[in-house]
């Protein structure tokens, strides 16, 4: 219901105003239209002020406060990444918190401790070879990890055994449009 209709319903029982096709009705329509615009603006402000419901301006405002923008492709992933980046603080350096922050940033990376103190390994479990945009990923990862920790990046490659599990014959590979080795590697998990 618009505010004009609401105002007319509110005044109608008084029976002292002509609300249809009159100056009073026109005035209520104009005031109702202005109140509808205010209501619409307030709804947008309320939506954009929370990360969980923000869609554009609210997320952009938060991103302006941060050194890096999240690496995400969907609205939900962007919200989760911003929430994770905002959670990073002085107590965010446990292994679980670091992995949660990386996941929240939209990075497909997992940090594991090594037997050597001060050294961690970063793996990319679902990406064979070196991930696309590795330099940007390294910058983000190293900005989240404590500065005194040495980071070893561990990559995995596709083996012939994994290729044989995915593709039974060369004909299966050739049935796919011409692909490069890198594209073929990404099809094998």
pLDDT digits 0-9 by tens, 80-134: 878 877 777 666 667 887 887 777 666 778 899 999 998 999 998 877 878 878 8
Instruction: pLDDT band for 150, please (50, 70, 90 cuts).
Output: very high
Instruction: pLDDT band for 153, please (50, 70, 90 cuts).
Output: very high
| Host H or E run for residue 62 | helix 57-65
C-beta atoms surrounding 137 within 10 Å: 22
Sign of CA dihedral 132, 133, 134, 140: negative
Q: Could you tell me which residues are beta bridge partners of residue 120?
A: 113, 151
Q: What percent of the chain has pLDDT over 90?
A: 10
Of the candidates 32, 39, 36, the residue with the CA atom closest to the CA atom of residue 24: 32
Please determine, for residue 21, whether its predicted confidence score (pLDDT) is greater than 80: no
Is residue 134 within 8 Å of 100, Cβ to Cβ? no
The reported pLDDT for the residue numbered 42 is 92
The reported pLDDT for the residue numbered 92 is 63
**In this predicted model, which residue has the larger pLDDT, 29 or 91?**
29
Please determine, for residue 169, whether its predicted confidence score (pLDDT) is greater than 70: yes
Q: What is the mean pLDDT of the chain?
A: 81
Q: In 3-state terms, what secondary structure has residue 166? A: helix
Contacts of residue 145, Cβ cutoff 8 Å, sequence gap at least 6 = 93, 98, 111, 120, 151
Q: So where are the chain's domains?
A: 3-48, 57-154, 158-189
């Amino acid at each position: 219901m618009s505010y004009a209709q609401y105002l007319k319903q509110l005044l109608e029982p008084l029976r002292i105003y002509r609300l249809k096709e009159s100056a009073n009705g026109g005035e209520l329509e104009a005031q109702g239209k202005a109140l509808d615009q205010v209501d619409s603006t307030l709804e947008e402000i309320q939506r954009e002020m929370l990360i969980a419901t923000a869609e554009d301006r609210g997320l952009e405002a938060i991103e302006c406060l941060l050194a890096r923008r999240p690496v995400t492709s969907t609205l939900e992933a962007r919200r989760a990444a911003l929430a994770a980046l905002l959670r990073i603080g002085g107590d965010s350096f446990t292994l679980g918190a670091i992995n949660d922050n990386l996941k929240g940033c939209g990075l497909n990376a997992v940090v594991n401790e090594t037997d050597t103190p001060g050294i961690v390994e970063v793996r990319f479990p679902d990406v064979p070879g070196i991930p696309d945009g590795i330099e940007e990923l390294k910058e983000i990862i190293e900005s989240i990890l404590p500065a005194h920790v040495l980071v070893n990046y561990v990559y995995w490659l596709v083996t012939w055994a994994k290729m044989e599990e995915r593709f039974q014959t060369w004909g299966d590979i050739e049935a796919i449009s011409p692909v490069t080795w890198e594209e073929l590697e990404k099809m094998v998990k």
